[in-house]
Amino acid sequence: MVNSRIPGLKDLTLEERREIVAANSPLESADFAAWDPATALTLDQADHMIENVVGVLPIPVGFAANFTINGRDVLVPMATEEPSVVAAASNAARIARASGGFTTSSSDPIMRAQIQLVDVADPEAARLRLFEARDELIATANEQDPMLVTLGGGVRDIEVQLVEARTQTYVVLHLIVDVRDAMGANAVNTMAEALAERVGEIAQGRAILRILSNKADLRLARARAVFSAEQLGGEHIVDDIVHAAALAEADPYRAATHNKGATNGIIAVVLATGNDTRAVEAGIHSHAVRDGRYSSLTKFEKDANGDLVASLEVPMAVGLVGGATKVHPGAQAAVKMLGVTTASELAEVIAAVGLAQNVAGLRVLATEGVQRGHMSLHARNVAVSAGATTPEEITAVATRMVSEKAVRAERAAEILEELRRDGR
Ligand code: MEV
């Protein structure tokens, strides 16, 4: 029985943490090799993934604890170079857990492909001609991916948009495709390319672009949770978080940072599972500006008990089959840790993590500010750069610098020299 509630994590060794993960997720001890520098993605494997390979770039992989999502406990793998992100997500998840955790939902995994037509003399009539050919176009598109159709996916519909642009009105055909457990780019691009010529014929124009849209507005993942005022630090903190969220709704300068808080969590899971981080970010940002002005992705309210109710709804184009998710051993281990079997389940976990991360960020901003937490971690890095080697030395140098409010390389070197001179 998986229990994601794991107190005292920061005091455990890496080996102890692995044992806990193995006991509380589908991962087995052998699976951790996928994240060991010596046995992780090999140069040969990397050489098959992209071009002109000269090496690999290791990024730390941690896990967020305390998540309960739709009543199921789950440990969440996160790949990130940013300190505090994993701890912050785990903290917010602990608070949400006390009120039942996260409740999530998602739309069907529907992506769009666009076919752009130029030089159409009668765009309005062309639009109707394309609709008249709907069944033929859907049948041809589905023939490109019989396996997807067997799995219950395939083209659901077409849309035709007339886009007034700089020099002419473009006719743009959208293929609306249920891509099931794929991210979907390959499936919909193949369909769009196969249809382009015929679509051009029907519209009596010329097809240029045939490509998916990253504005995945039909593939939404949602998460909501309640955070008790008491656990957040009092009702005044709830009020201040709601004020912070209101500023993000109204002010694009703040919205960008607010949304960066949520994407800290979202992208860490997207990356850990080998998914396309740029596709997800493009989807998220197009969603944030869907009403014509860039705004926040999350909503915050105070409920009748004075507790914080937070929710998030975002496009989430992630898959479990194909791409790096299938070939990267670390991504496979991450998917296994999550125990998810569909792309929609993965998308919902990611939404829950994004929400937790956003709440954690706002709570810190509404209380002590970000610098205290960042400073202690930064101080550890400064201690290491100044030559501290053992965990004891690093902690001693960092703690002294933080208490003296002097986190600087020269001070780290002085403290280190003092410690070593005194034989400590
Ligand atoms: C830092 O990576 C993220 C925050 O700036 C998010 C926010 O301001 O809400 C703390």
- List, for residues 298-341, the tens digit of each pLDDT value: 999 999 999 999 999 999 999 999 889 888 999 999 999 999 99
Strand partners, 116: 172
**Residue 268 to residue 284: CA distance in whole angstroms:** 14
Query: Do 342 and 244 share a structural domain?
Result: yes
pLDDT (tens digit per residue) in 53-99: 999 999 999 999 999 999 999 999 999 999 999 999 999 999 999 99
Q: Is residue 53 part of a domain?
A: yes
Query: Which two three-digit tokens encode residue 348?
Result: 């919902």
pLDDT digits (tens, 9 = 90+) for 18-44: 999 999 999 999 999 999 999 999 999
Give the closest residue to 379 by CA, choosing from 356, 357, 405, 359.
405
Determine the average pLDDT of the residues in 348-369: 95
Q: Is residue 4 part of a domain?
A: no
Q: How far is the CA of 358 from the centre of ligand 1 (A)?
A: 8
Same domain, 99 and 228: yes
What CATH number does the domain containing 142 carry?
3.30.70.420
Question: Residue 368 has what pLDDT?
Answer: 79
- Residue 257 Cβ inside 6 Å of ligand 1? The answer reads yes
* Strand ranges of the sheet holding 308-315, from the earlier edge strand across to the other edge: 103-106, 220-227, 308-315, 298-302
Tell whether 3 is covered by a domain: no
What single-letter amino acid sits at 293?
R
Average pLDDT of the chain is 96
Q: Are 320 and 335 in contact (CB under 8 A)?
A: yes
Q: pLDDT by residue (tens digit) across 93-130? A: 999 999 999 999 999 999 999 999 999 999 999 999 99
Residues 203 and 284 in one domain: no
Does residue 424 register a pLDDT over 70?
Answer: no
Is the CB of residue 261 below 6 angstroms from any atom belonging to ligand 1?
A: yes
Least confident of 7-16, 25-34, 93-102, 192-201: 7-16
Tokens of 169: 């009105």
Q: Please give the Cα distance from 114 to 130 (Å, whole number).
A: 13
The partner residues of 158 in beta bridges, in order of sequence, read 175
The single residue of 19, 124, 243, 260 carrying the catalytic annotation is: 260
Q: Which of 258, 259, 357 to mutate to test the pocket of ligand 1 (most atoms within 8 A of CB)?
A: 258
Q: Which amino acid is at 158?
A: I
- Tally of domains in the chain: 3
> Which of 150, 183, 213 represents a domain boundary (last residue)?
213
C-beta 265 within 6 A of ligand 1: no
The pLDDT tens digits of the residues spanning 363-381 come to 999 987 877 777 888 899 8
Are 269 and 75 in contact by the 8 Å Cβ rule? The answer is: no
Q: Please give the distance, rounded to the nearest whole angstrom, from the Cα atom of residue 299 to the centre of ligand 1.
A: 16
Is 82 an annotated catalytic residue?
yes
Q: How far is the CA of 356 from the centre of ligand 1 (A)?
A: 12
Predicted pLDDT of residue 11: 87
Q: Are residues 101 and 114 in the same domain?
A: no
Task: Tell me: do 167 and 279 sit in the same domain.
Answer: no
The answer to whether 178 is a known catalytic residue is: no
- Boundaries of domain holding 152: 110-213
Within this chain, do residues 345 and 230 fall inside the same structural domain, yes or no? yes
3-state secondary structure of 397: helix
Last residue within a domain, chosen from 184, 213, 242:
213
Per-residue confidence (pLDDT) for residue 375, from 0 to 100: 82
Q: What is the CATH number for 255?
A: 3.90.770.10
Please check whether residue 60 is in contact with residue 81, taking contact to mean a CB–CB distance below 8 angstroms.
Answer: yes
Q: What is the pLDDT of residue 373?
A: 74
What span, in angstroms and rounded, lies between the C-alpha atoms of 241 and 222? 20
Give the global pTM. Answer: 0.92
Cβ 58 vs Cβ 348: under 8 Å: no
**Residue 384, domain CATH:** 1.10.8
Instruction: State whether 46 and 142 are in the same domain.
Output: no
| pLDDT value of position 326 | 87
Residues 283 and 359 in one domain: yes
Measured at the alpha carbon of residue 188, what is the angle toward residues 213 and 266, in degrees to the nearest 5? 55
